[in-house]
Structure 1
């Protein structure tokens, strides 16, 4: 049975490693503080997301709870004003009144809010997890005197059953190779609204409103190689295969974006005594994304300082930082970045 499992894992890795992906979410405060360079680290229950092969090094029993999101009071207030002002459009009776209502609409232009949550647990090399992501975006455009304002929100939830196994397990784990797999139940929700009007000839198009639900499945695979006692190499293919069935719309994506990530991590010896890591993501139809991270433990290991950054060609570099309080069996973590994203997590590991 184990041989069949290993063959399936290797085939999935080889056949999908060259496929592109979409950038990963900012799940896990420890990983976020290290700039998302965590594929070759993955040493707690959050490995069910970052690299299921990491469950082989996540301890006998573990639990992780994480919540994160962008903190931008201006955007939040703009969205609230937008919701409050929609009533004026719905109450208008003529096209002229509707156009005037849309023109005065408190529309939050070019907003992007992202909220993530992760609950994960592992017992030895078996893990379970719940992941939730909600992403709200707004956009304004004008073509041939037609002005359009659009707001949309996509929510994706994943229930995960995860398994990691060592296929090569030499003494001291030097040269060990581990593989991991996630089987996922996926639930989706999509809501959108679009207003458009032509101010020149005073015509107002009927609002377009979409609300749709989906269910589906997905599969992740990962590998973790311990080159030496201080150097790890990791690889994951998130959503190696996936399927979403929407109740109504055929225009929405019928699968989740595939994400391929390669990573390396090294524990530098004294006097530096820190962990450094780098990940490379290869998004579909986009430039590669580079993640860099560092973790330094001080005060007898009770406090962890983390720094990181990630960058995609054509986009501003996002810098991250984090703190971790490490007491026996429990870690409390905080991470922030220059994109106004904040995450908090608590981790239990035995």
Structure 2
């Protein structure tokens, strides 16, 4: 997987096995935040979505980095258009944080077109045995989150379902080691295939201790056309104890995803600032385990930094000026400007 770790090494142009290695920024002095996007081909733009299919190849480290550069700058340009008018004056928006989080995180998709049946959901849940258990995210800390009827009830309206590893986790702190891998697929059927493949890692003695849980968004609602978050699945893990630049756990997770679904089953759109690994797969560090002042989720921490820029600047003339201010806010908060999926602390 490209661009991992906090100390990059030399970038190798390899095509294929997307190893999770620490990578150096390409030779060209570009930034995923401040560099203007390089448009490869003309394509229809969904103005109501922050992320679109870039149509770029993602086979090599440099190709993936170039895709990140374009995606992140395009996202900032769209954010500027949403919050500032043609003269650079700030628009009147009631709840900037809520609007920006939804804009950054959700997109138009056919993902919900084919609902998941209760039978298929229960089959997946009941297969957990001694390896995993399934709970409802929206039930939170409520004791009913583990109640079979309450959990199944959430399928009717759509929810993230947490799939917890029942095996012991590796001892040691998550500080400087916690990461996430996000997956975007076209259908719930494909998502369930990925989930089934990921649960097999819980029984792998070399990988299981480092994979804490993953979540998957599923809905049994018929005819749902609502926007959905780009990350249909999120895998939460910590890097292993190896002293090399490799991330064997990340590699194993990526392999499990690749085994479950083909590139044709995946979407290439992601929330801004993730680093692409390949079609439908991206990764990032968990902010709070790297920077004490960044206690929210990956997208919410980036959202808050951007909202801070907007609040402080009633007038910003031009998208370049806006991008530079965001880069400055990221740098001050110890978010790596050149690799915004990472942190400098």
Normalised-by-shorter TM-score class: under 0.3
Give the alignment's TM-score, normalised by structure 1.
0.25
Structure with higher strand content: 1
Structure with higher helix content: 2
Larger radius of gyration: 1
